[in-house]
Each structure stands twice: as structure tokens, then as C-alpha cells.
Amino acid sequence: MTESIRYEDIAAFPKPGGRIPTQFQFSEDGRRVYYLYPENGDELSLWVFDSETGDSRLVAEAPREKAQDTFEEEMRRQRARFAWSGIGRYQWSGGRLLIPWHGKLYSMTGESGSLTLVPNGEGLLDPRLTHNGRWIVGVLDGNLVKVNPETGHTERITSEGGTGLTYGLAEYAAQEELDRSRGYWISEDDRYIAFTEVEEQHIPVYPIVHQAADPVWVEEHRYPFVGQDNAKVRLGVRPLDGDGPIQWLNWGEGERYLVDVLWSPGGELLVLTIARDHQHLAWDRYDAEGNRLGRAYEETSERWINRPGLSVALADGGLVTTSEREGLRRVLVISADGHFKTLENPSDEAVINILACNAETKTVYVSLTRRRALERTLAQVNWESGYWEELTPEPGWYAAAADSQGRAFVTIHSDFDSAPETQWLSEGKQAVIRDNPVSRTSLELAEPTLFEVKASDGTILNGLAYVPEGTPPTGGWPLVVSVYGGPHAQMVVHEWSETVDLQAQYLQQHGYLVIKVDSRGSFNRGPDFESVLFRRFGETELEDQIAGVEEAARRWPVNRERMGIYGWSYGGYMTLRALLMAPEVFKVGVSGAPVTDFRWYDTAYTERYLGTDENNHEGYESTSLLNKADRLQGKLLLIHGMVDENVHFRHSAAMIQAFIDAGKDFDLIVLPNSRHMVQGASNSLYRVRRTLEYFLKNL
């Protein structure tokens, strides 16, 4: 692609080498794995890999009828940042396959059958099979119901739901900020169901007007703004047949977020909640009928507590989870009597997530950082002996999935030179599920260059550069920073996605030095590294981005009068902040979907770091950009979707007015039909073209 990257290439989805398997589900015997894969284009189909034959074969394709996502499906895709078409979800259970498709349900028995439409399955939200595959459970008109997949016979599990009151659905904060996309959980013996009741009538409606639609229509959201009311959520338990009263669980005083619910093999419930200020986390134990048995574990922090990922409930009443209570995230094993121990990591690296747990061998399989979080590897640890073993020692980035017992694994490996390759690992057996012939050299792309940046406190930061070839112009290369900068994100990784960052590659080909720096506050390097953001956003991150610019200027010839910056979401916020607070450094910026005042963002994210305006007014004033508009000196292009349901267009609208009041000139692009994740070929292409042309013209 040398000297030939087009705007269409940058806007296209998927990126070169990006067609890889996703959403793995292992067979009960651990010998096969199902997965979604786009054989052509961006449409996912269902495949199965058999480890005994070493072959993959097609199981099911998306129905061919013309259909569009329902509004609920569109919102779920936005929450998950899911851009693929075709089959978006599937489930195997009890020998039955379930595929939701544009508001309808399709089912199949066995791998050799054919998909059939489930009677009375239309409009069922978040549908899931029971473990025995005999029922489909989901939410219809605000109530939990179960549907016979053969006959369509429907039975209610709850009956009080309706507008503003729903059963079995995750509320906005859970989906967007807590990684909880579901609102009900079925016991392993299919006898009981735990489910949420979500009450939202008290939250004012936030309207999003579709101005470009004909006719114009208004989308309504119950959005929980900072310091305002959250949805009222409680967890109930009742028999799956719907008989008997609902037993509501009591998890203590004060407002708390429901984060996770686990059914143990022994039929107990383990419930994870976290305080609204995110400074207290607790696991509580209940019996199958919802009676509280006691607290299994708790921890507190003076800053905030990051929620764990996958946790595993053991048959003996124990729990395997992760914690940052002692610094970098580690495996935490909690016994049924409440005693716990933290498993020491083999090096100064962090556990990312638990992949599987084998109670018989006392072994936990985890994803682990490597090389100061630049890489990922797969490892196992025995929680009795503490013995660690790395299973994927090759350099680069390993994404992984495992069957529940850790008998078999799927790994997806890539680095700067090689696109992701998907392999099967089990008992010494290794086989390629999907190869990927695409390489950096075959695409003729530049190799990203890793470098280190020293922050003002001595912390070493990870940086990445795309360095132009040839002789620099007089005065040095213009420099552009690609930024995110906020919490719970990481920009710099030793992975294929960096190579196919075609926007950065395009600028590199046109003589711009492009850099990325993971400033203090970014994810996967432990709570001490992150906590510089506590009570303040933007200050330390900008300081570190400037340190990155200075380090780049020491390493390569850079024209200090031609420096720019761009980013989206928190990166859009950082772009605006850089232009306003460091105009002597940054002359040009493209800011996409920025938060301009965090008082207008949601509770579960913002209060975790900043508290509320009531208890941290100075912090919110310092973080806000609206009171800094008069500082603008450079060239700014502001881009925002008018139907963005996450960072509402009001953020940019208020910023526009602040610039007008301050008499400051800027450029604006409004995307009338775009949400936070911009989709659609024309929208994506227009955004890419205008962004790059802005730098070519002004920098």
C-alpha cells in the first residue's frame, strides 16, 4: 500500500487482516469449538472446528430475508461497539442452536439440521436457552417469559413490567459502564432464575431528535447524569416455572451497582455489587431461594475499585476472581468459609482476566500482560502450590478463549508483521483454525516503532511512532498525535491493529510523524498508575502527551511549529484540551464526539473518578472545557453525530456557543444520522476524508 492508501481503504470495515473468528463456544467434551467468522466481507456466519479432524465447517448462515436491526438491537450493538453484520449472537445448549436475527428467533437441533423460525419469538429481547435447551427465556413487553422453541407456547415468569419498569434487562449504566449486558441468570439445574427489576420512571427523559429523518422523530432515553438519580435496580429469585413469590435479595445499605451474578454448581448465588462511589466492593452469598447466607468477601479503597472480569463459582462454595487490592491485578481465591489468598504474579505484570478454572486440578488459566502491558500472553497458575507457567511464550499479542475446565484453548496471535492467526491448543495438540496470509510486507506498510517516554515523576510510558521515510524537509517533519488518554483504555500495544491503523499510515506516507502515548491514567498497569486521574481529568494526561512530543522531537527531526493532534470520545476531549491549554505546542486539532463538561456524562463512569459536582466542584471546573473557550488559538475541526446516545451532541453544541461567545473561529462537521460509533460507508468515508484533508491543508 506504499503511496497508495486511499480514503476508502481507511474507512473500510474490516481492516486488512481483520477477518478473524469471534464469539467462541466449546462443546461439552471440549473437543470442538464453535465460532463466528466472516468468510466474505463483514457478514458473520457460524462455524465449528473439530480438533480430531483438524477441519472447520459451516454450520449456519444468517437468514436471507431482508431485515434491519430493531432499535433495541441497535442500542446493544452500540453498547458493545459491534460493527459486524450477519449473525451477531448465537447459543448452543442442550443440543439446540439459537440465533436471534433482527427481532426474530431461529432455532436448529443438531449440527446437521436447518434453521427454522421460532413461533412467537418475535420481539423477544436478550433471548437465551435454558441449559437443557427446552425453553427460550427472554424479555417481552418488559416481562420475563419463556417460549417453547418447537411450538411457540409462551409462559410468563413475571407480569408487572411495562413502560419504565422492566424485568430481566440490564440498564444503561450496566451495559455501557459495568460490562454487564444481561439482566437474568438461570441456575444450572434450570429450576430457578435470578433476575433484575429495573425502575426508571423517576429519571427524566432525555430527547434525541432525528433532524434528518422524514418525518422528524424523537428518541427518548432515561440517561443517568452525574449527581442525578440512577435506575433503581434490585435482584429477585423465583422458580423458573413462575410459581411462587419473588424473593428479593438484600445486599445492605446504601446505593450500589449490581455488577455480576453467579450460580454455583451447588445451587447457591454469588452476587457482586459495588458502591455508587466505587470505593467499596462486596461479594454476597444467597441460597437458591434468595435467602442471604452472608458476605463472602469485600474490599475498600480511598480512590476507586476496578471491577473484576470473569469470576468462577466453585462447587464447594468457593470463588475464584481477581483483585487489585495489593497493586497489580492478581488472582484471588476465596474459600467457602470466607478466607482468601492472593496468588502472586510471576513478574511485574497484571492479570487481565480469568479464562477458565479447573477445580479438580486447582488450576486457573488467565490472560496476563507482558513487557509493561505492551503484550498479552496465556498462563496457568495452581492456587495450592502457586506454580505459574506461561503457555504462549512467543512475542506479540495473544487473545484467548478456553473451555470452562481449561482442557482446550483458542488463541489469536498477532504482532506488527503478522495478521492474527487463530489456533487450537489442547494437551500438546496445536492446529490452525484460521490462518491469515496478510502481512505487513505484503501490504507494504511501515513498521510501527515502539519508544519510551519518561513522565515528570519518572514513570516510563509506552509510545508508538509511524516515522516517515526519506529525508525530512527543512525544519523537520510535522508531527501529529493520535490520542485517547482516558481511563479504562490502552492505545499502545504490540499487535496487528497498530500496523493497520491506516489513518496513521496515510499521514506517515504523506510526510507526517505520527505518535501515540499511553499517558498515566490509562489501563492495565495497575491502580497506582491509573489513580493520577482521581478527582481531575485532563491535566496529567496532557502533561504526558506533551512529554511524548518532546521525546519524539529528541529522537527524530520534528518541526515544532507544525504539531497537531486528533482523537475521538475521550480522545476528542483531550484534543480540545490540548488546543486550549497548550496552544504553544499544538497548532491544529480534529476533535471527534468530545465530552466538554463531565457533569453531562453518566453516573457510573464519571463519579467513579471525579465524584460529583457537589463534593468536587473545583475538579469539575478544572476538567470542563466550556470555561476555557477563550484560549483557542490554533485551527480546530469539531466533529459530532447528532444522534450520539452516549456523548450527547449537547457537548459540542455548548462548546460551539462558548466559542461564539469568545469570538473564536473554528470548523464544524455535523453527522446528522451518526451515533457515538460512526457507521455507514458514506459517514465513515466523509469523516476520514475531512479529518485527513484538515491536516494536509493546515499543518
Query: Domains along the chain?
Result: 157-307 (2.140.10.30), 440-698 (3.40.50.1820)
- pLDDT tens track for 264-286: 999 999 999 999 999 999 999 99
Round to whole Å and give the CA distance between 108 and 95: 9
Point out the catalytic residue in the list 569, 591, 624, 674.
569
158 has a pLDDT exceeding 90: yes
Tally of CB atoms within 10 A around 313: 25
Cell numbers for 237: 429469585
Round to whole Å and give the CA distance between 237 and 284: 15
482 has a pLDDT exceeding 60: yes
Burial class (CB in 10 A: 0-12, 13-18, 19+), 607: buried
Instruction: Say whether 414 is catalytic.
Output: no
Point out the catalytic residue in the list 413, 494, 648, 676.
676
645 has a pLDDT exceeding 60: yes
Reported pTM: 0.96
Residues 6+ apart with CB under 8 A from 337: none
Taking a C-beta distance cutoff of 8 angstroms, is the pair 596, 652 a contact?
Answer: yes
Point out the catalytic residue in the list 107, 644, 652, 674.
644
Instruction: Say whether 676 is catalytic.
Output: yes
- pLDDT tens track for 91-116: 999 999 999 999 999 999 988 778 99
- pLDDT tens track for 120-149: 999 999 999 999 999 999 999 999 999 999
CA nearest neighbour of 308 among 364, 371, 249 = 364
Of 59-73, 171-185, 463-477, the poorest mean pLDDT is in 59-73
Instruction: Say whether 644 is catalytic.
Output: yes
Determine the pLDDT at residue 243: 84
Average confidence score pLDDT of the chain: 95
2 has a pLDDT exceeding 60: no
Taking a C-beta distance cutoff of 8 angstroms, is the pair 106, 59 a contact?
Answer: no
Determine the pLDDT at residue 664: 98
E strands, 502-542, in order: 513-517
Strands 397-402 and 85-86 turn out to be unpaired
Alpha-carbon Rg for the chain, nearest whole angstrom, is: 25
Determine the pLDDT at residue 486: 93
Determine the pLDDT at residue 602: 98
450 has a pLDDT exceeding 70: yes
Determine the pLDDT at residue 527: 95
Mean pLDDT of 306-315: 95
- What 3-state class would DSSP assign to 515? strand
Round to whole Å and give the CA distance between 413 and 36: 17
Mean pLDDT of 525-547: 97
Q: What is the 3-state secondary structure (H, E, C) of 309-368?
A: CCCEECCCCCEEEEECCCCCCEEEEECCCCCEEEECCCCCCCEEEEEEEECCCCEEEEEE
Q: Could you tell me the CA-to-CA distances from 42 to 5, 297, 411, 413, 443 in Å, in that order?
A: 20, 44, 21, 21, 20
- pLDDT tens track for 669-693: 999 999 999 988 999 999 999 999 9
As beta bridge partners, residue 637 has 590, 667
Residue 312 pLDDT level (bands cut at 50, 70, 90): very high
Of 79-88, 169-178, 398-407, the poorest mean pLDDT is in 79-88
- pLDDT tens track for 355-384: 999 999 999 999 999 999 999 999 999 999
Report CA 624 to chain centroid distance, whole Å: 25
1 has a pLDDT exceeding 70: no
Residue 338 pLDDT level (bands cut at 50, 70, 90): confident
Determine the pLDDT at residue 3: 58
528 has a pLDDT exceeding 70: yes
Ramachandran area for residue 267 (φ above 0: left; ψ -120 to 50: alpha; else beta):
left
CA-CA-CA-CA torsion sign (468, 469, 471, 473):
negative
What one-letter code names the amino acid at 652? S
Helical spans, DSSP H, in 148-297: 172-177
Burial class (CB in 10 A: 0-12, 13-18, 19+), 547: buried
Q: Could you tell me the CA-to-CA distances from 128 to 106, 185, 454, 605 in Å, in that order?
A: 12, 10, 49, 28
Residue 428 pLDDT level (bands cut at 50, 70, 90): confident
